[in-house]
Amino acid sequence: MSVQRDVVITEVALRDGSHAIAHQYTVEQVLQVAKALGEANVPYIEVSHGDGLGGSSLQYGLSRTNEMELIEAAVSVCGPAKIAVLVIPGIGTIKQMKEAANLGVKMARIATHVTEADVSAQHLSVAKEMGLETVGFLMMAHMAPVEKLVEQAALMESYGADTVYIVDSAGALLPHQVRERVRALRQSLGVNIGFHAHNNLSLAMANTLAAIEEGAQRIDGSIRCLGAGAGNTQTEVLVAVLDRMGIQTGIDLYKIMDAAEEIVAPILQVPQEITRDNLVLGYAGVYSSFLLHAQRASKRFAIDSRDILVELGKRQVVGGQEDMIVDVAAELAQQQP
């Protein structure tokens, strides 16, 4: 039976949340979470390394478990939910995307930096040919003016994206900036508009509601706020808020609350809260997944992690440049008296 939905939520804790636990998900954890999410009628569940397919590496962080095993596990228990994967061209390959599709994945979310949509053409077109639902994912959206965002989103639409997402990877956008970006895409594109928030400035919910009010139909959430940095828009809270607003998600509120409390909460290594480092991520406009890398570099070089993050922001370092974190920390250490 189809479920009426005014907003379609993709649950990202099994992908974005991988950053928060240093990519240490086990098959058993994924089985428990995916089963509970499916029973709560979550429509889409994203599963992969935090940096997408193929992300397990020394640069991005080694996974405890092969992500194809995690994907296969999620597919086996998710019920009516559909499993999605993130693919960053240059990290994830067409071959890996096909392998995931053969395991039962139904959606491919192709992610690029906000000014580099052209590198998504092959991945989006092949995903479309494979019969997958296709999503263009424009990361670090705060780093481009609205006109550039529209231009890049239009490219993804032309390559076959069914939905194009504005992705606030740093949690740096303010509500009025979200509004103007969603409005511009709504006016310029014929496909669905999505929004992915991070909570580094405590604005994930406000920004998500602003996006929905401007017409975004696809929204990301992370149960128990489990995601990079200070996490994403908290799924169970979002479902409750939207229910109060009369907006349908099709998700069972009690079941998603129970899954958050009983299954996901024990997985968190530390509570998802806005620490000083998380706050600096949003303040400086730095990729949320840089957090653990910067904290490790801080200990190694005896440098305040905030100084590292602020310097990364000044240099406009983006996802894929994780090796720069150590370089910046080393330079700052040399400058100390």
Which residue ranges are tagged as binding site? Answer: 15-16, 169, 196, 198, 287
Helical axes 291-301 vs 276-284, angle rounded to 10°: 110
Place of tokens 């240099």: 315
Provide the H-helix boundaries in the chain.
17-20, 27-39, 67-77, 94-102, 121-129, 146-159, 175-188, 204-213, 235-244, 253-259, 276-284, 291-301, 305-314, 323-335
Helix (H, G, I), strand (E, B) or coil at 205: helix
Catalytic residue among 19, 49, 113, 123: 19
In sequence order, what DSSP letters do the residues of 15-57 get, joined into one string?
Answer: TTHHHHTTT---HHHHHHHHHHHHHTT-SEEE-S-TT-TT--B
Is 19 in the active site?
yes
Answer whether 237's CB lies under 8 Å from 223's CB.
Answer: no
Q: How far apart are CA 66 and CA 288, in angstroms?
A: 23
List binding-site positions for substrate. 15-16, 169, 196, 287
Tokens encoding 13: 């804790």
Answer whether 23's CB lies under 8 Å from 226's CB.
Answer: no
Answer whether 223's CB lies under 8 Å from 264's CB.
Answer: yes
Give the distance from CA 1 to its chain's centroid: 29
Give the chain's largest Cα–Cα span.
68
List binding-site positions for Mn(2+). 16, 196, 198
Residues 6+ away with beta carbon under 8 Å from 157: 136, 164, 189, 190, 191
Catalytic residue annotation:
19
